Amino acid sequence: MYALNGGAGKRMAGTVVATAIGAALLLPAVPASAAPAAPAASTAPAVAAKGGEYKYHYTYRVIRKTTPAEVSFKKMNKIMNGVFPIKGMPKTVKKNQKICLKMVKDCNPVRVTAVGKTYFTLKSLPGHLEGAGKIITFKLVKKNGYLVLDVSAHGPKAVWQKHPITDKSNRLFARGMWGAYAVNLAKAAEYNLV
């Protein structure tokens, strides 16, 4: 699996990358005077920062595949809990489903707002670590004979995401996490499960 944007030709190590990025970059060492106070687990949910929008777009080459993206997506949506890199994802995603993703805190609630022939979209709900209102779409596409995972996200920035260090760290973590998703898809594709 290769990242197509910003890292062409570099192998992603999947979950190891996400874990390493999370451990090493999520909270980098900075002088105490420069860093905002870290949000405590018991604080109120993240609040959208005025005028700021959080957004990113990553693509990952998964595997060379002749199967149409629609067929791969249909197969993937039967084993979603086995390939999605965050615990709590059900076996199959369906529109309007509320899902409790388990990472960092006990529950990061999201709702499935759309499921198409090659994609699904999640929206973060109140109580999510990144705050409510974030939209993320995961799409499988065929590009130059490869199955590609296309991930795009946008929504209001949480107050903690306004600081350049935490914003960049969060983006690196997301890139690694969705890279792990692509690695999981590639492994499943080896067994014709995707």
What are the residue ranges spanned by the domains of the chain?
2-23+50-190
Which has the minimum average pLDDT: 46-60, 61-75, 93-107?
A: 46-60
Which residues partner with 156 through β-bridges? Answer: 53
Which has the minimum average pLDDT: 12-16, 63-67, 153-157?
A: 12-16
Percent of the chain residues topping a pLDDT of 70: 73
Residue 125 has pLDDT above 50, yes or no: yes
Per-residue pLDDT, 105: 67
169's CB contacts (< 8 A; 6+ apart) are 25, 26, 27, 28
* Cβ proximity of 151 and 136 under 8 Å: yes
Residue 40 has pLDDT above 70, yes or no: no
Angle between helices 69-76 and 164-190 (to 10 degrees): 100
Which has the minimum average pLDDT: 66-70, 91-95, 101-105?
A: 101-105
Residue 22 has pLDDT above 50, yes or no: no
Q: How confident is the model at residue 160 (pLDDT cuts 50, 70, 90)?
A: confident
Identity at 36, one-letter amino acid code: P
121's CB contacts (< 8 A; 6+ apart) are 112, 113, 114, 115, 135, 136, 137, 138
Residue 104 has pLDDT above 80, yes or no: no
Architecture of domain 2-23+50-190: 2-Layer Sandwich (3.30)
Q: How confident is the model at residue 177 (pLDDT cuts 50, 70, 90)?
A: very high
H helix or E strand, kind and range, residue 154: strand 146-158
CA distance 160 to 167: 8
13's CB contacts (< 8 A; 6+ apart) are 20, 183
